[in-house]
Amino acid sequence: MYLSRSIYRALKRTLSVALLIFTISPAEAEENIKLELPIYATKAELGYQSMLNSLGPKLVYLLGDASHGTEEFYAFRREITQSLIKEHRLRVIIIEEEWDSVEIINDYILGNGYASLETRELLDLALPRWPKWIWNNRQMVKFIDWVKDWNQNHTGDEQVRMLGMDMKEAILPSIERLSTLWTESLTTRQELIRLSDYWKLIFQYATGGLEYSEQSADVHRLIAQSLKRLRDLKEDTDPLLDMLDFANRYYQHYQSNFFEAWNIRSRYMAKFVHATIYREAGGGSVAVWAHNNHVGDKSADDVKGSGLINMGQLLREKIGANNIFILGSAGYQGAVLAARQWQNDGEVQPVSPARDHSIEQILFHSPWENPLLYWDTPINKERWNFDVLHRGIGAIFDHTKDDAETWSITNIARRYDALVFWRTTTSLK
C-alpha cells in the first residue's frame, strides 16, 4: 500500500523544509525523498501477525513504547508478545524495571506464591517505587493474567518467565540477597556490611542530604574496592555483583556527566539481555519491553558527536541485526499519564499535535488511523531512508512547558525494523 500522489506532493513540500532544518540542501532532499512511501498494513492489528510470520527466527524482540503512559502502545505490545509466546517460542520477557520487583511478578505467574492476591494487589506489592504506573496498569494486569494462565497449562521450557533489567534502585536489596547467599565466610559478611554502609552514604548524597562533592567520589572508590575484594573472595561470583559495579559507575557520573551515566546504564541493560538469551531462554527467544529511546538503534539518531549509545544499538552490534527485531511506536496527539516533576504522582495530560517535519506528522497525513510500517524489503526500507523528527515522552512530562526535549532527529528506517502509529492515543489506566 502506498501514499497517494497528492498526499506525496504535500509531504514532499513539508519534508523539503524539514530537511533544510536538518542542514540538508533542497537538492539533496529531492534525492532522498521517494515518490512512494510504503505502508505494510493499513490497520496494525490486522497486519502484525503476517509481519511476525515473515520475520523468521529471532533471538530478541525489542518492543518499544513512545511514552511510559500511553494505553495503545502498551496494548499493542501485549498483543504482539502474546502472539510470540503462542506461535514463536518466546519464553522470557524482560522489562525496564528492577530485578527484585519483577522477581515477585515472576513468582506469581509461575504459581510460586502470592496465590491469595489479585493481580492488581500483586503489582501494588511488587512495585513500591516511583513511577509505579509504568508497570502497574490495566494492560500489565491483562498480560500477567494471560501469562499466568499460559503457565498453568504448560510445563518446563514451555513456561514463560519475567525478569527486570534495570540497575538504579535495587542496590540495598541486592546486597541483602548476597548476604543470604554468602553466609559461610565471616570475612565476606563483613565486607557486605561495609558495602551496604557505603551505599547508604551515596544515597544521602544523591537525595541532597549531603553535598555531592569530592567526598562522594571517595565513597565511590571505596565501593569499587569493596566489590573487587568480594570478587577475590568468591570464585563463582553472582551477577548481582556485576549489577552493583555498573550502578556504582552510573551514580559516579550521574551528577557531572549524564551522557556517560546513560551509556553505562545502556551497557548494563544490553549485557543483561545478552546474558539472558544464552542463560535463561531455554532454546526460546527473549522479548524486551522498554522505551523507544532504549530499544531503537541510537546510531540512527542525530546526536552530534555526543557519544551517546543505547541498548538496541549495542545488541545489534553484539549479536547481529538479523537476530533482532526492533519495533517502535508513535502517536500524533492525545493524552498521556506522566508526572510533571520527579517523584510526583502521574496525571493525565494532553499531548499536543506533533511538530511539523516529524514521522508522526507524515503518518497523520496518510488516510489511515493506525498503520503499521515494516521494512520487509531493501527497497521499502530505502524509501523511508531520510531524517525526521520523532517524539518520545518519559515518566516526566509537563504539557504546559516547551516540549523540545521530547523530540529527536532520527532515521526511522535505521532506528527500527517496524513502527506502529496511532493518530490519537489515550492515557494508561
Q: What is the pLDDT of residue 203?
A: 85
Angle subtended by helix axes 311-319 and 258-279, to nearest 10: 40
- The C-alpha atoms of residue 290 and residue 231 are separated, in whole angstroms, by 31
DSSP state of 395: S
Closest CA relative to residue 291, chosen from 123, 148, 129, 77: 77
How far is residue 18's CA from residue 25's CA, in Å, rounded to a whole number? 10
pLDDT along the chain (429 residues), means of 10: 39 34 31 63 94 94 98 98 96 98 98 96 97 97 98 96 97 96 90 96 73 77 96 84 96 89 98 92 88 98 89 98 97 98 96 96 92 93 93 97 94 97 97
pLDDT in the model for residue 281: 65
Query: Distance between CA atoms of 201 and 15, rounded to whole angstroms?
Result: 52
Cell of residue 268, nine digits: 548494563
β-strand partners of 98: 166
Domain ranges for the chain: 1-37+326-429
Where are the strands (E) in 16-147, listed by range? 60-65, 90-98
pTM for the full model?
A: 0.91
Question: Comparing C-alpha atoms, which of 230, 206, 224 is closest to residue 216?
Answer: 206
Burial 380-396 (b: 16+ CB within 10 A, else e): bbebbbbbbbbbbbbbb
Task: Give pLDDT, residue 425.
Answer: 98
Contact between 246 and 266 under an 8 Å Cβ cutoff? The reply is no
Q: What is d(CA 148, CA 30) in angstroms, rounded to the nearest whole number?
A: 53
* Residues counted in the chain: 429
Pairing of strands 90-98, 285-291: parallel
Phi, psi of 60 (to 5 degrees): -140, 140
Query: Any idea what DSSP says for residue 427?
Result: B
